[in-house]
Structures are given as C-alpha cells and as structure tokens.
Structure 1
Amino acid sequence: MSECKALRSIRHRNVLKILSVCSSMDFQGNEFMALVYEFMVNGSLEKWLHKDGVQNEGQEEESSNLKFIHRLNIAIDVASAIEYLHCHCDSTIIHGDLKPSNVLLDDEMTAHVGDFGLAKIISTISSEEVQYQSNSTAVRGTIGYVAPEYATGNRASPLADVYSYGILLLEMLTGKKPTDNVFTDDLSLHSFVQSALPDQVMEIVDPHILSEDEPISWLKDNLVSVLRIGIACSMESPRDRMQIQYVVNELCKIKNAYEKLG
C-alpha cells in the first residue's frame, strides 16, 4: 500500500496513471486488492511486436506496420519514463520488471510504462547512502529481462532497470524475444546483436522495418545507432551500462536527425 500511495503522486506523460486503489470482497467472499489504471486503447507493446500476442485479425496486420519512427518514439517514451522515476521523483523508484507487456500504448501510440507490482522505492538519505523501503526483500523479475547481478543476490538498483530497458530496445528492433529458442548456451540477444554490428545489421533487424520507403543507407545508420544504445544499456556489469539520462539524449538526437531528413 505504501508503494501504491507513492505511485499515485507520480505525474508524467509516459507513466501509466493510477486512478485509484481499492480493497473489497469478491463474489466468493475472498478479500482482494486492485489498482485502477487509465485504459490504454492500443494495448501492450508486446502485442505490436509479436503477432502471437495479437487478439484479432483486424489488428494483426497493424502489428506488422510498426515503423522505425514509431519504435523510436516508443523507445524515447519509455526511456523518459524511467529517467523520471529514477531522477525526478521525491524518492527514486525502480520499476523492477520492465518488458514489452508492461509498456502500454494510447490512441496516439504514445507509450506508458505500467505494472509497478515489483517497484522498489528508495529514499535518498545522503549522496552516498540509500534506504530500501520496500517490504519485498527478494528481487524478482522476468526471465530474459532481469539484470544478471540479481542472480548473485544484489539489491535492486536503477542500473538494473537500464539493463531491462536495453533488452527491450534490442527486442523492439530485431523482433526477437530474449527467450527465443535460438538463444542457447553462450548466445544471447545482447551477443547476437553485438556480433552483427555494424556490417550485418540489416540481416538481424525486424523485416517489417526493412519494408519502409526510407533510404537504406540512412535507415542502416540509424538502426546501428539505436542498437548500440541497446547494447550499452544491457552490458553484464552495471558499471559499464549507459546512464538513462544519456539514453534519452542520444535517442532524441537520432529522432531530430530523422525529422530534419523528413
């Protein structure tokens, strides 16, 4: 409940707005608690990236038309939300489970980060010390997106969200989930993309992006730039990861270059 109250005070265009928190009894007399969010008419990013997540035939064709600029805008939206949670709230808020199914899209395809069920709230005491206030001591998350340091018992940190964001960014441009069957042994989504940059980038990106009318050389350069950011965010060691503020800045530079071309 303390986490829910903190989240209710959040005001950012890319964070899913909590309208209410309620506690009641279901039809069988069992107590339940619920969060009431804004409704997002275009569903989750997961649905748009992967056809197996599409509910009906009318939207299945749409899901394959998520153009590069749409993906770039969504990437900026999500990074902006994470930057806000990490840097601009009264307490640092770590999402803890960033993945495509937790990114929801409104009627204008603006992305909103939701599902804060694993959120950790950190109250800064000094520049050197933080207090972990969440009642949840175990770090959980989703396989494929959870930062590797959690496996060794490390506490939640903002850089773990950055790792999850990096994996999400790589998935957005390749169309491959980190849990895809091709990723076995030492091959991961991170290493798969890293080994293809820059020369083989057009061989690994989502084929739907390649059907656009943009000049191939321009598209390739921008794909490489965005994928490099995904690689920098999903480095194994937290200290090697790109800071989320720089992620937002770099992605905005790429978008500005796109708009000048247009």
Structure 2
Amino acid sequence: TEYGMGCKVSTGGDVYGFGVLLLEMLTAMRPTDTQCGNALSLHKYVDRAFPERIAEVIDPHMPSEEDEAAASVRMQNYIIPLVSIGLMCTMESPKDRPGMHDVCAKIVAIKEAFVETL
C-alpha cells in the first residue's frame, strides 16, 4: 500500500510488505478480496478475529490434525504467533512495526519449537 501510494522505499515499507505476505499465506486471502470489503484492510479483517476467532479467518485448506488437542496446540503454538507477527508488521504507522531482525528471531523461535515436537 505504501509503495503504491508513492511513499519512499524504506525498511518500514519492507516490513509491511512481509506482514501482508504472511497474512495472505495464513488466510489465503488478498488485501483486495471482497471479504476485506467495507473499507477493511486485510490487517483489520484479521485483527478483528484475533486471537479468539482466528480459526474463522485462517485458510480452510491448511492441513490440520484430526485430533482436537493437537489442533489446539498447533493453533496456540504456531498459527497464533505467526498471525501476531503478520499483524505487528502491518501496523499502520511504520514506527509501530518491529524490525526484521526481531521478526526473524520470532519466526526462528516458532520453527525451533515446532522441530522439538517432531
């Protein structure tokens, strides 16, 4: 959005773009999809469901466990933290967004927690 509106290239814009990409991957939606209509951005659409109703906006085709307990653990330990990163990266003001170093550290921690469960 920022670059499309003529804003200068910046690391804050790159963080925003990464956050949008992450939210798109998790929801299988684009910022221009009609579900995000009524002047809602993808960020606001996801944020309204976060975290209590996040399962309602996550990609329904994402593989999931049949076991309800395992699905709950996956949601709490991996999906919600990833959505949180996407939401932090797409904050309206660049000064409210994390740096990519912090984003990378959070993603690595999620990955390491996932690998430990295998």
TM tier, shorter chain?
0.7 to 0.9
Matches within 5 A, 1:64-103: none
String of CA shifts for 1:69-126, please: whole Å, max 9, x gaps: xxxxxxxxxxxxxxxxxxxxxxxxxxxxxxxxxxxxxxxxxxxxxxxxxxxxxxxxxx
- TM-score (structure 1 length as normaliser): 0.41
Give the structure 2 partner of residue 218 of structure 1: 73
Structure 2 contact 15–89 (Cα < 8 Å) conserved: yes
What's the Cα RMSD here?
Answer: 1.7
- TM-score (structure 2 length as normaliser): 0.88
Q: Which runs of 5+ in 1 are unaligned?
A: 1-145
Q: Deviation above 4 Å: which 4+ runs of structure 1? A: none
- Quick one: which amino acid aligns to residue 72 of structure 2? S
Determine the C-alpha separation between the residues in 2 that align with 1:253 and 1:232.
Answer: 16
Number of equivalenced pairs = 115
Give the structure 2 partner of residue 247 of structure 1: 103
Give the structure 2 partner of residue 193 of structure 1: 46
Determine the C-alpha separation between the residues in 2 that align with 1:171 and 1:182.
Answer: 13
Q: Structure 1 or 2: larger strand share?
A: 1
Q: Whose RCO is larger (CA < 8 A, sep 6+)? A: 2
1:147 aligns to 2:2 (yes or no): yes
1:161 aligns to 2:1 (yes or no): no
Q: Structure 1 or 2: larger helix share?
A: 2
- 1:210 is displaced (CA, Å) by 4.7
